[in-house]
Structure 1
Amino acid sequence: MIKLDRICEHTFFSLINENSVVVDFGCNEGKFAHTVIGRYGCKVFSAEPVPECAEQITRHPRLTLQQVAISGASGSLDIHVYPDRCASGFNRSPAEQAIRTIRAEAMTLAEFRRRCGIGRIALLKVDIEGAELDMFAAAADEEFSDIDQITVEFHDFFYPEMRPAVEAVKQRMRSLGFHMLPFSLDNTDVLFVNRRAAVNWQNRLWAGTVVKYGRGLERRLRQMIGRTATAPARSAGSSAPRRCGDA
């Protein structure tokens, strides 16, 4: 049975070795890249447009970093940087104000691969704060044929208007022969597995069971937490509600 791995809230099958190529879009400060290198000894090509984040990425002989944004077109892109150090080409809610806007070099998936000389990709990790839809839309169907797995954090939880487009991406990837495994309730951890990858139906069934019961457990825990929050316990002899962390 092929094991599932999870790094930085991205779940994927352990189909990676020292000869594999992993592409990390939205490298941030490099935690995913360095963890996957440490576990598998693979080569990683990363994209991170925010200078402060790129400067924090520890250099490694197996890591190639491009300080670029991934989008639907090559050129330049305005990136809004928020207090939590997330960066997006989209404005969040009016209540969240970007601390600054930077102009970054932008490129498509195809252009990134050409620049880095990338052939087959064992795993593509995508966490680019809403630009994933533009990336998918700009990529030709054949661009995905030699990618074994794609793990994506979609951002329709920030931008509900994106949900129809997110569903369209899922449908397109299915039509291209990818199996889809949603490891989250809100599209923040979605895995696409190429039917050409060495993942048989037993492994997909097992992973689907993990998804089914894992999501059920998550719902149960949320319900329990919700009940605890709305009906706090009272300590003996006191009318004050008991707070989390109280002795």
Structure 2
Amino acid sequence: MDNPCTCAEKVLPNGTVVSSFPGVGGEWEVPSQFQHVLEYFRHGIDVSEASVVLDIGANIGLFALTVYDRCKGNVCVHSFEPIPPTFDDLEKNFSCYDTNKLKAYPFGISNKTGTLSFTHYPNAPGLSTHYPEYMKVGLEQMLNNIESNAEALPEFFVNANKQEITEDKDKSRFNKMRAVLGLKTVFQELHVQCQVKTLSDFMKENTIEKIDLLKVDVNGSEMDVFEGIEDRDWQKIRQVVTEVPLGGERLEILKDLLHKKGFTSVIAEEQAPVVNKGLAYFIVYAKK
């Protein structure tokens, strides 16, 4: 995809140029996310020209740009990103295209309209969340498995720490020390207050009468998003693709909800951990 953007910092495998995160996040997270969004288009999930797509948890817009490319620019994508510095990159990326087709909103979608506290990870912005306990589970799993996981971590994770470490004669011990410090650096937290509203409120305000694809990637807040959809609006949604961290009971509740709302095909597929032996998750693909 040609892109005239002069503020961009990262070239993706398909040639798209995007404004990305500074430092360690941009080196690993952006290429990883690009590969990840391709997984959404499985099990019959599709977009075509003139589609209306909602991208909840847009991050810097890689999913929206993929949809835009697939539809040859003839699409309307509404993208929501509540974390201010991440939204800035999202807006920069969209400014290089038709902003009547790619629309960015500086708030999140939840089960209420108001303000919520989010945990933001500046070194891994794509993991920012209203429910940090899910990220803490992933971090604990990675640390618990560090003996066998250190050399398999992406290089930026072990290089992220700023402390000087004297190399030990025992290389495995040295790698473990680097990995532990790197992981703790990547998961350093900031707490920010962000605006949110319900999906039904947004649909009413913007007179949205159909949604061809609703994509939800909100790191543990999935059910909050779906609880904010009023009954009259479920019939307007043709497809849903959503992530569910950890799976378990929450996954079964979500699948049951989608069946009750008229989706005849609901498939849950477990994905490889986000980072080796870290946070396991599922993608749910639903169609009417």
Q: What TM-score, normalized by structure 2, do the two folds share?
A: 0.59
SS at match of 1:38: helix
**Which string of whole-angstrom CA distances, capped at 9 and with x for unpartnered residues, describes residues 146-172 of structure 1?**
111000011235xxxxx3233112112
Q: 2-side partners of 1:137 and 1:52: how far apart?
A: 27
Q: 1:56 aligns with which of 72, 89, 105?
A: 89
The residue that corresponds to 1:11 in the other structure is 41
Q: 1-side partners of 2:65 and 2:192: how far apart?
A: 26
Q: 1:20 to 1:51 in 2, by over 3 A?
A: same
* 8 A contact 2:53–2:213 mirrored in 1: yes
- Pairs aligned (count): 184
> Residue type matched to 1:191 in 2?
Y
Q: 2-side partners of 1:166 and 1:189: how far apart?
A: 10
The residue that corresponds to 2:285 in the other structure is 191
> Residue type matched to 2:128 in 1?
A
Is 1:149 the counterpart of 2:149 in the alignment?
no
> Residue type matched to 1:7 in 2?
V
> Residue type matched to 2:124 in 1?
D
Give me the identity figure in percent.
Answer: 26
SS at match of 1:139: coil
Structure 1 residues without counterparts, runs of 5 or longer: 1-5, 158-162, 195-247
**Which string of whole-angstrom CA distances, capped at 9 and with x for unpartnered residues, describes residues 129-184 of structure 1?**
11111112232333221111000011235xxxxx3233112112112221202233
**Which string of whole-angstrom CA distances, capped at 9 and with x for unpartnered residues, describes residues 207-227 of structure 1?**
xxxxxxxxxxxxxxxxxxxxx
Deviation at 1:24, TM superposition (A): 0.3
Q: 1:190 to 1:150 in 2, by over 3 A?
A: same
Q: 2:112 aligns with which of 55, 73, 78?
A: 73
Structure 2 residues without counterparts, runs of 5 or longer: 1-35, 141-183, 272-279
Deviation at 1:72, TM superposition (A): 1.1
> Residue type matched to 1:49 in 2?
P
**Which string of whole-angstrom CA distances, capped at 9 and with x for unpartnered residues, describes residues 83-137 of structure 1?**
3112110123275755201111011111122233322011000001111111122
SS at match of 1:33: helix
Q: 1-side partners of 2:58 and 2:262: how far apart?
A: 27
> Residue type matched to 2:195 in 1?
E
Q: 1-side partners of 2:195 and 2:45: how far apart?
A: 32
Q: CA RMSD in A?
A: 2.1
Is 1:170 the counterpart of 2:201 in the alignment?
no
* 8 A contact 1:70–1:128 mirrored in 2: no
Alignment of 1:1-247 (within 5 A): 7-12=37-42, 13=44, 15-40=46-71, 41-57=74-90, 58-59=93-94, 60-61=97-98, 62-82=101-121, 83-85=123-125, 86-92=127-133, 93=136, 98-156=188-246, 163-178=248-263, 179-184=265-270, 187-194=281-288
**Which string of whole-angstrom CA distances, capped at 9 and with x for unpartnered residues, describes residues 49-93 of structure 1?**
112211112123210111101111110011101231121101232
* 8 A contact 1:149–1:193 mirrored in 2: yes
SS at match of 2:212: strand
Q: 1-side partners of 2:285 and 2:128: how far apart?
A: 23
> Residue type matched to 1:109 in 2?
L
* 8 A contact 2:47–2:70 mirrored in 1: no
Q: 1-side partners of 2:188 and 2:205: how far apart?
A: 31
Q: 1-side partners of 2:61 and 2:103: how far apart?
A: 11
